[in-house]
Amino acid sequence: CASDVFSVSVDVESAVGISYQWQSSLDGVTYSDIVGATGSSYSTSIVDPTYFQCLVSCSASGESTLSDAVFVDNVCPGCTDPTALN
């Protein structure tokens, strides 16, 4: 549900110069950086269904890659349909 905290993470071999930038999107097309979300994992809660992805960069090579996007839907059956809890 909307108040629940969840985490997303990427599994990247540790190396000097690796940086992370988590991004979010409501439509799965246009992503924006999440301020302060610069670790290999990110924990938050959401109100609207949201896509998350992580931009992983290497300062030594100048290369970057995006993780696969993950879709998080905060709607639990009992939140919208009380009979679903029966």
Domain boundaries defined on the chain: 6-85
Report how far apart, in Å, the C-alpha atoms of 34 and of each of 19, 43, 59, 82 are: 14, 11, 20, 33
| pLDDT reported for residue 14 | 78
Section 77-85 average pLDDT: 54
Average pLDDT, the chain: 86
Who has greater pLDDT, 82 or 59? 59
| pLDDT reported for residue 73 | 86
**For residue 58, which of 31, 30, 18 has the smallest C-alpha distance?**
18
**How many CB atoms are located within 10 Å of the residue 57 CB?**
14
CATH (residue range 6-85): 2.60.40
